[in-house]
């Protein structure tokens, strides 16, 4: 295998060009084999194999920096940069990340996971390079979906203004390849980046502009003529107006053409955007036919693409999607919003049934929230389904546009809590902290999939902002009520009474807390269990009741402890002037949580039944020992 000879980018550049196409096929085969076992981002990674090879072959990486946007397409990059031996550990606990990580390789220059950051980061690197007097190139690789976001255009705008020699590679992987990608346009693009044309272009510009009186007008006419030619080839005029030289579109699977283009433009001293057209899932028939399904996929049969294990229980996402349809059938004020994740959030079927009441805003969460606010001021009730980790990108809009105006909008926070193999950029473990202190916001979290549907009904009928956070993955298989009911805002439920201690849990931690209480009961301990339901407003009466009855409380949450649910409960006790209550908060530490299966991470951080049982038992024993010690000290003082 050619791939056996490539353990670094230096090895890659030592290969003859004639072997690169075969190398690309071997890399695709390796990616399919590994991802079929580990799960991961298949279609996007297969689509950029040729592009990745060409970038590392043409540029002097890692001295030259390649900055990947999002980073879920960087599997070929990982294989080519010395991580082939570790590639089978992709996204596994203790293995390599599914995204670029600076501590993994000197070829990874920016940690990513969220979209549209590459241009801004790359421009910052170029500015730093110039300040330090260094001389290397920086290339930002960004997809057509990511470049539509505001952050990307902010970066493009400044790059064009600064006129730094930033290279932006626009990876256009739409399903239908542009008709402009043909022999003529590819030839013209390569021709227009060549040394002769570039030199002629610059000399002509200086010559025309130097002609007195009419020179500037003649140059503008020539420029418009060139732009009109480009207009026939590709939508490049927008980027030219932003200060970039536009090149493309280039066939992203023709390594020879990619190399010629990159070699032509790599010594430009001004910003250039290279438009490359690729096909998601390239080289894998089932991924090519259904790139959305294989964007992020669980393990699958590499021969057929069928999932290795199909869940027998509905996922929370499925329940959300089904409930949205049921609610919308009875309430024509309900509209749904997705930020380029209609399938991921379960709104794909809603979009089919109610096409006029569904809006996909693209990778633009900030716009999506303010867009929802615009709908709400006109009397509709928008439900914006956004992964918890991506909702934080719209924080300013939540504060000023949504909550300040007290609008009737629901945020459906999918993937709240530990998401598993995607790791720290995707764990939804900060939403309680950044939402609960904002006035007018109501926050709820269901204990199971049945309660989720009732919370959604509660949210869409609530005349103010609300957020429903729910976890990734399957529910518990509980019976599903056919009739949806509205819950009383701010009311929890006492699932189990007890006198020795009370566990107050929220969301995904309620079931394991109940299991821990049963085990403790078998050992003679009387443990109350509260399903909080609402993080804000809290059920103060119930919390104070169990705290007063037991004198000891434990809060449990799948969220960061800093500013989280447990903090809210302690604030509740303090506000009520209730002192002397012994407390323990169980949750996630003040650190970024690594990637790994949800079950593994929950076990590590004590959020499964075993962990909760152990921590509660230890807490009770310490409380008893402390009480005994205090009694002994009092008796000693009496003596």
The active-site residue, picked from 137, 164, 280, 447, is: 280
Q: pTM score, two decimals?
A: 0.86
Q: What is the pLDDT of residue 288?
A: 86
Checking if the pLDDT of 238 tops 90, the result is no
Task: Please state the rounded mean pLDDT for residues 289-295.
Answer: 85
CA-based nearest residue to 238, from 127, 152, 360: 152
What is the C-alpha separation between 213 and 121, in angstroms, rounded? 42
Q: How far apart, in whole angstroms, are the C-alpha atoms of residue 234 and residue 250?
A: 10
Q: What is the C-alpha to C-alpha distance for residues 66 and 52, in angstroms, rounded to an integer?
A: 10
Q: For residue 184, what pLDDT band results from cuts at 50, 70 and 90? A: very low
The neighbouring-strand residues paired with 536 are 443
- The class that CATH gives domain 494-628 is alpha beta
Run of H or E including 514: helix 510-521
25 annotated active-site: no
More confident residue, 52 or 210: 52
CATH code matching the domain that covers 316-469, chosen among 3.40.50.970, 3.30.420.40, 3.40.50.620, 3.40.50.300: 3.40.50.970
Quick one: pLDDT at residue 548?
95
Tokens at 389, concatenated: 């980790």
Place of tokens 């104070």: 544
Q: What share of the chain has pLDDT > 90, as a percent?
A: 78
Domain assignments of the chain as residue spans, ordered by start: 48-72+102-282, 316-469, 494-628
Work out the average pLDDT over 228-246: 70
- Considering 30, 365, 421, 558, which one is annotated as catalytic? 365
3-state secondary structure of 245: strand
Taking the mean position of all CA atoms in its chain, how far away is CA 210? 51
- Confidence at residue 382, expressed as pLDDT on a 0 to 100 scale: 98
Reply yes or no on whether the pLDDT at 178 is more than 90.
Answer: no
Instruction: Check pLDDT > 70 for residue 470.
Output: yes
pLDDT of residue 205: 57
CA atoms 176, 393, 537, 585: torsion sign: positive
CA distance 297 to 309: 12
Taking residues 226-244, what's their average pLDDT?
Answer: 66
Does residue 101 carry a catalytic annotation?
no
Q: Does residue 492 register a pLDDT over 60? A: yes
pLDDT at 295: 86
Catalytic residue among 393, 447, 472, 533: 393
Q: Give tens-digit pLDDT for 105-141.
A: 999 999 999 999 999 999 999 999 999 999 999 999 9
Residue 235 has pLDDT above 60, yes or no: no
Q: What is the pLDDT of residue 384?
A: 97
Superfamily of domain 48-72+102-282: Thiamin diphosphate (ThDP)-binding fold, Pyr/PP domains (3.40.50.970)
A 10 A CB-CB count for 324 gives 27
In this predicted structure, what is the pLDDT of residue 176?
30
- Check residue 180 and give its pLDDT: 39
What is the mean predicted confidence (pLDDT) over 142-170? Answer: 91
For residues 201 and 245, the model is more confident at 245
* Range 20-43 average pLDDT: 94
Whole-angstrom distance between the N-terminal and C-terminal Cα of the chain? 85
Cis peptide before 477 (omega within 30 of 0): no
| pLDDT at 345 exceeding the cut of 80 | yes
Domains 48-72+102-282 and 316-469 share a fold: yes
Condensed to tens digits (0 to 9), the pLDDT of residues 501-532 reads 999 999 999 999 999 999 999 999 999 999 99
Residue 228: pLDDT band with limits 50, 70, 90: low
- Assign 3-state DSSP to the chain and report helix, strand, coil percentages, each to 5: 45, 15, 40
pLDDT at 210: 64
**Mean pLDDT of all residues in 20-31:** 96
Q: How confident is the model at residue 175 (pLDDT cuts 50, 70, 90)?
A: very low
Give pLDDT, residue 177.
28
Q: Is the pLDDT of residue 561 over 90?
A: yes
| Residues in a beta bridge with 196 | none
pLDDT of the residue at 474: 94
Q: Reply yes or no on whether the pLDDT at 538 is more than 60.
A: yes
Residue 57 has pLDDT above 90, yes or no: yes
Query: 294 pLDDT band (50/70/90 cuts)?
Result: confident
Question: Dihedrals φ, ψ of 96, to 5°?
Answer: -75, 155
Mark whether 618 is an active-site residue. no
Average the pLDDT over 392-404 and give the result: 97
- Count CB atoms within 10 A of the CB of residue 171: 25
Q: What mean pLDDT value characterizes the chain?
A: 89
Q: Across-strand partners of 67?
A: 140
- For the stretch 576-599, pLDDT in tens is 999 999 999 999 999 999 999 999
pLDDT at 374 over 50: yes
- In eight-state DSSP terms, residue 81 is I
Q: Is the pLDDT of residue 93 over 70?
A: yes
Mean pLDDT in residue range 148-173 = 91
Region 400-429: mean pLDDT is 96
Quick: pLDDT tens for 432-460: 999 999 999 999 999 999 999 999 999 99
| pLDDT exceeds 60 at position 639 | no
The answer, yes or no, to whether residue 411 has pLDDT greater than 90, is yes
């Amino acid at each position: 295998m050619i791939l056996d000879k490539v353990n670094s980018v230096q090895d890659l550049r030592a290969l003859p060009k004639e072997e690169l196409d075969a190398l690309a096929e071997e890399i695709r085969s390796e990616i399919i084999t590994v991802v079929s076992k580990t799960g991961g981002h298949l279609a996007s990674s297969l689509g950029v194999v040729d592009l990745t090879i060409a970038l590392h072959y043409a540029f002097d990486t890692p001295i030259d920096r390649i900055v990947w946007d999002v980073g879920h397409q960087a599997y070929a990059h990982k294989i080519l940069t010395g991580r082939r031996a570790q590639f089978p550990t992709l996204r596994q606990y203790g293995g390599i990340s599914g995204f670029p990580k600076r501590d993994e390789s000197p070829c990874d220059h920016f940690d990513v996971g969220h979209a549209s950051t590459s241009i801004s980061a790359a421009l910052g690197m170029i500015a730093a390079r110039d300040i330090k007097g260094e001389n290397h190139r920086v290339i930002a690789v960004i997809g057509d979906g990511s470049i539509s976001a505001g952050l990307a255009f902010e970066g493009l705008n400044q790059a064009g203004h600064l006129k730094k020699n930033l290279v932006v590679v626009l990876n256009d992987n739409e399903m239908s390849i542009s008709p402009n990608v043909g022999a003529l346009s590819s030839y013209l693009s390569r021709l227009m980046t060549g040394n002769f044309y570039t030199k002629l272009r610059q000399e002509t510009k200086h010559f025309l502009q130097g002609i007195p009186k009419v020179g500037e007008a003649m140059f503008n006419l020539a420029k418009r003529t060139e732009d009109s030619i480009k207009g026939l080839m590709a939508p490049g005029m927008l980027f030219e107006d932003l200060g970039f030289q536009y090149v493309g579109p280039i066939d992203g699977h023709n390594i020879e053409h990619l190399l010629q283009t990159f070699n032509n433009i790599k010594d430009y001293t001004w910003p250039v955007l290279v438009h490359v057209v690729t096909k998601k899932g390239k080289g894998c028939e089932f991924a090519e036919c259904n790139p959305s399904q294989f964007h992020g996929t669980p393990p699958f049969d590499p021969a057929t693409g069928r999932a290795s294990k199909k869940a027998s229980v509905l996922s929370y996402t499925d329940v959300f999607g089904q409930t949205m349809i049921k609610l919308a059938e009875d309430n024509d004020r309900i509209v749904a919003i997705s930020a380029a994740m209609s399938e991921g959030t379960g709104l794909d079927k809603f979009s089919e049934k109610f096409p006029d009441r569904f809006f996909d805003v693209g990778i633009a969460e900030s716009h999506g929230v303010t867009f929802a606010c615009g709908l709400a001021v006109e009397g509709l009730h928008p439900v914006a389904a956004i992964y918890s980790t991506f909702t934080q990108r719209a924080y300013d809009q939540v504060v000023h546009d949504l909550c300040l105006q007290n609008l009737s909008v629901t945020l459906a926070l999918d993937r709240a809590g530990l998401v598993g193999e995607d790791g720290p950029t995707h764990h939804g473990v900060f939403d309680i902290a950044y939402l609960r202190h904002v006035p007018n916001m109501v926050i709820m979290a269901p204990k199971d999939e049945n309660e989720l549907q009732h919370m959604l009904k509660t949210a869409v009928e609530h005349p103010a902002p609300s957020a429903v956070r729910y976890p990734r993955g399957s529910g518990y298989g509980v019976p599903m009520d056919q009739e949806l009911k509205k819950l009383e805002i701010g009311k929890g439920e006492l699932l189990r009474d007890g006198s020795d201690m009370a566990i107050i849990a929220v969301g995904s931690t309620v079931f394991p807390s109940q299991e821990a209480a049963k085990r403790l009961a078998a050992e003679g301990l009387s443990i109350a269990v509260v399903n909080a339901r609402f993080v804000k407003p809290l059920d103060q009466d119930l919390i104070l009741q169990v705290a007063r009855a037991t004198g000891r409380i434990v809060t449990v949450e799948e969220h960061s402890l800093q500013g989280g649910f447990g903090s809210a409960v302690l604030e509740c006790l303090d506000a009520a002037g209730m002192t002397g209550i012994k407390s323990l908060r169980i949750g996630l530490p003040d650190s970024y949580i690594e990637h790994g299966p949800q079950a593994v991470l929950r076990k590590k951080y004590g959020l499964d039944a075993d962990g909760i049982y152990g921590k509660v038992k230890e807490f009770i024993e310490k409380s008893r020992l402390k009480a005994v010690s205090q009694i002994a000290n009092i008796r000693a003082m009496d003596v």
